[in-house]
Copies of this chain bind each other. A is one copy, B any other.
């Protein structure tokens, strides 16, 4: 029954991802995750030796999500459209973001303070987005692509934080639109 076992793994990671987003790492118990995944508590440890291992699995899943997301933008005509599509992704999740924050941003924020290996793993999703954005600004012909990529991702993450703090999805939408306009500004004539 290796297949069933894989299914349980996936259910555990999916449940963990949801609860880590909603409640954070510290406030989420393995019992909570096990219950949501419909797996007995003691059995969790067969698949993931420690809680940190499970958190690492969530980070790996997020990193894959990021890779899949930017791959999905490949079909768009140009880098400006692709960068705008990136920003719009957060607008699509505006209601969740305005309640619980950006799934990447909040998890990274909580893990950044650590000093064990987990803080390194936590940076991977953000790095994935950032590196891809740098390549897009390069393709656009911009002078300092890295600074621009950091500016874009900063604006997205900061907007997500403020939207969650003020519980205001419209705030996020408005800032994403500002970013669209800004990106259009950068297109060389």
Contacts and interface: CB of A to CB of B under 8 A. Distances in A.
Interface in A138-166: 147, 150-151, 153-159, 161-162, 164-166
Contacts of A35: none
Interface centre among A22, A113, A156 (most CB of B within 10 A): A113
Taken together, the copies of this chain in the complex come to 2
Which applies to chain A's interface (DSSP): helix, strand, loop or mixed?
helix
Nearest to A147: B174
B26 A109 contact: no
A27 interface: yes
Contacts of A122: 165
A24 interface: yes
A151 to B, nearest CB: 6
A161 B150 contact: no
29 contacts: A22-B113, A24-B26, A24-B110, A24-B113, A25-B26, A27-B113, A100-B113, A101-B109, A106-B109, A108-B161, A109-B110, A109-B161, A110-B110, A112-B164, A126-B165, A127-B166, A147-B174, A147-B175, A150-B171, A151-B155, A154-B154, A154-B158, A154-B159, A154-B162, A154-B175, A155-B155, A155-B158, A158-B158, A161-B161
